Amino acid sequence: MFEPLYPDDAARVGQLARVFTTIGDERMKEIGLYNHALAVEPVGFRRWEDWVAGILVTPWFMNLILLPTNEAQMKGDVTGTKRRLDMPCGEVTFNIGEVEEVGPYLASSLYSPMGRFDVHAVAVTTAWAAVEKFFKVPEVEEPEHGDRKCS
């Protein structure tokens, strides 16, 4: 079980979805990566530590997204570079991004492009299954020097 979003967090997630819908409409629809069977939809967003975290499904990618809740979390981070975070499932590598009206965020790709999904509901179901794995501690004991994977 996860903590529900505060109203301000829910508004940011809604804004994230609206911005990526606009990006899709204005910049992505005409390129080959765009899957017209899909729509932008945020899935499973929750508070995790000091982040608002969940999966964003779009017609061109499915990413685990972390939105900072304060400016200090991403201070010094440079858009276009990578950052690693320890999550309950293990270490996850994120790309640092930034979009208008939302600000900086971390994104870890699950699927891109999205051609394997013929139906939006299947993409969303896949996202729900994936998001839970990121926040679950693995039950199997891992080797001391091995990397845990969140897939």
Whether residue 150 lies inside any domain: the answer is no
pTM over 0.95: no
Q: What is the CATH number of the domain that holds 104?
A: 3.30.1460.40
Q: Is the pLDDT of residue 139 over 60?
A: yes
Whether residue 25 lies inside any domain: the answer is yes
- pLDDT over 70 percentage in the chain: 90
Whether residue 110 lies inside any domain: the answer is yes
Residue tagged 């994977």 (tokens): 149
Whether residue 113 lies inside any domain: the answer is yes
Whether residue 1 lies inside any domain: the answer is no
Nearest-angstrom CA–CA distance, 103 and 30: 25
Q: Is the pLDDT of residue 111 over 80?
A: yes
Domain limits at 67? 7-134
Count up the domains in the chain and report the number: 1
Q: Are strands 51-57 and 90-99 parallel, antiparallel or unpaired?
A: unpaired
Whether residue 60 lies inside any domain: the answer is yes
Structure confidence at residue 148 (pLDDT): 44
Residue with the bigger pLDDT between 4 and 128: it is 128
Instruction: Using alpha carbons, select from 96, 100, 76, 83 the residue that is nearest to residue 20.
Output: 100
Nearest-angstrom CA–CA distance, 91 and 94: 10
Structure confidence at residue 145 (pLDDT): 47
HSE value, Cβ hemisphere, 13 Å, CA-based, for 22: 10
Whether residue 36 lies inside any domain: the answer is yes
Whether residue 67 lies inside any domain: the answer is yes
